[in-house]
Structure 1
Amino acid sequence: MVKEIQPKDSTREAAYKLWMKAPNPMVTFFKTLDVTNLIKLSNKSHMKFNMLLVYCIGKAAVNVKEFYILPVGDKLMQYDTIAVNTIVKNKAGEISSCDILYVEDLDVFNEQYLKYTNQVAENCQDRDLSNDSMVIGTSAILDTEIDGAVGMNSGIFNNPFIIWGRYKKKWFRYYLTLSFQFHHTQMDGAHAGRFLENLQKDIKSLRIKAANKDQTVRDKGDTKWNI
């Protein structure tokens, strides 16, 4: 559910006045994460690394209340739920966008991820949940290692956005550098920093209840098009 709220009735009133009309209200942070645990879990459980990372992004975001408010046009909108977007290579060889609603149960989230990324890949149609959920955009640039990326300020989409490339191995650890872009009306640097700290903690603490649980459930929607 989404509803319009008045800036004066929110904690973002001052930020709204300062940044809604700014020429470039977007801020970008860069952070290198230790993703060793996700690599190990992915290898052990055969769950996709990208799915595990997207899940952790949602898990980190739901504990920062500013994620539930988003400037849309000249309005301030409040959401009840958060979704994470992933980009999928479709069967036409192009890319499609797929929004996945965040749910705390990893098994359920994994099933949703496989089902809907496969669906989007096969029908080449985007899955958009932005009318109901605050969507965090993501883009995985798997062709190269990158040190960071700065998104554009379109003036249309103000959603937070995360970009990453290939992870890097150093000794026995794996690291991933990502960029996190957000609208300053939505959150301040401290909130963004808290989210990134949450993300690192959630990546390190993530556990899978049964690494060898029913493989057929995971493979049901798993095609070569899935990330």
Structure 2
Amino acid sequence: MAREIDPKDTTRAMAYALWMKAPNPMVTFFKTLDVTNLAKVSRKRKLKFNMLLDYCIGKAAANIKEFYILPVGDKLMEYDTIAVNTIVMNKENQVSSCDILFSDDLKTFHREYMKYTKQVAKTCQDRDLSEDSMVIGTSAIVDTEIDGVVGMNSGIFHNPFLFWGKYRKKWFRYELPVSFQFHHTQMDGAHAGRFLENLQNEIRRLK
């Protein structure tokens, strides 16, 4: 469920005043993650690497209250739930968008992920949960290694977004550079940094 809130009643009042009408309010952080454990769990449990990463993204964001608000148009909206978006190659060899409601239970998240990504691939119809959930966007360019991505400011979509490419083998470990783009009204750099640290910790804790 989404509802409009008064910025003056939130900790984002100053950020709203400063950044809502800024020419480019989007900020991008870059971080290299150690995804060795993620790759091991993926192989051991025969689960998709990107599904596991999406799960860790949702888990890393779930306890940061700034992820439950989002500037939409000129309004500040508050949400009860978080969803993670993934890009799906559909049957026409084009890309479609699929939102997966985050669940703290990996089995539930995996079941929903597999169900709806297959549905979107088959129907070529996007699955959009943005009316009810704050959606974290993701985009994986898995055919090549990339150092980072700077997203655009569309002026329409203000959702936080993560980009990554193919993970890299470094000695006996795997590394993955990621880019995290966010709207400065939604969060400050300290919140973004905490999210990225949470993400690394969730990847290491995954079993």
Structure-2-length-normalised TM-score:
1.00
Equivalent-residue separation in structure 2 for 1:181 and 1:104 (angstroms): 23
Structure 1: which amino acid aligns with 2:84?
A: V
Residue 194 of structure 2 aligns with an amino acid whose one-letter code is R
Q: Deviations over 1:143-201 (max 9, x none)?
A: 21000000000000000000000000001000000100000000000000000000000
Report what 2:114 is aligned to: 114
Deviations 1:114-140 (A, max 9, x none): 000000000000000000000000000
- Give 1:92's aligned amino acid: E
Aligned equivalent of 1:176: 176
Q: Can you give the 5+ residue segments of structure 2 that lack an aligned partner in the other structure?
A: none
Looking at structure 2, the residues matched to 12 and 74 of structure 1 have their Cα atoms a distance apart, in angstroms, of: 14
In 2, distance between residues paired with 1:17 and 1:9?
A: 13
Partner of 2:40: 40
CA distance in 1, matches of 2:120, 2:45: 24
Equivalent residue, structure 1, for 2:88: 88
Alpha-carbon distance in 1 for matches of 2:189, 2:154: 21
Give distance in 2, aligned partners of 1:47 and 1:118: 15
1:61: which partner in 2? 61
Give runs of aligned pairs for residues 25-36 of structure 1, distance below 5 A.
Answer: 25-36=25-36
Residue equivalent to 2:192: 192
In structure 2, distance between residues paired with 1:180 and 1:11 = 22
Corresponding position of 1:148: 148
C-alpha separation in 2, matches of 1:196 and 1:203: 11
Letter in 2 for 1:196: L
CA distance, structure 2, for counterparts of residue 165 and residue 176 of structure 1: 7
Give the corresponding residue for 1:97: 97
TM-score, normalising length: structure 1: 0.91
Distance 1:111 1:101 in 2: 11
Letter in 2 for 1:129: L
SS class of match (2:162): strand
1:208-227 paired onto structure 2 within 5 Å: none
Which residue of the partner structure matches residue 225 of structure 1? none
Q: Distance in 1 between matches of 2:50 and 2:23?
A: 33
Q: By how many angstroms is 1:14 displaced?
A: 0.2
Indicate the SS of the match to 2:3. strand
CA–CA separation in structure 1 for the residues paired with 2:110 and 2:62: 18
Aligned length: 207
SS at match of 1:186: coil
Secondary structure, in 3 states, of the residue corresponding to 1:174? Answer: strand
Take 2:21 and 2:127, find their aligned partners in 1: how far apart are those partners?
30
Q: Any runs of at least 4 consecutive aligned residues in structure 1 with deviations exceeding 4 A, and if so which?
A: none
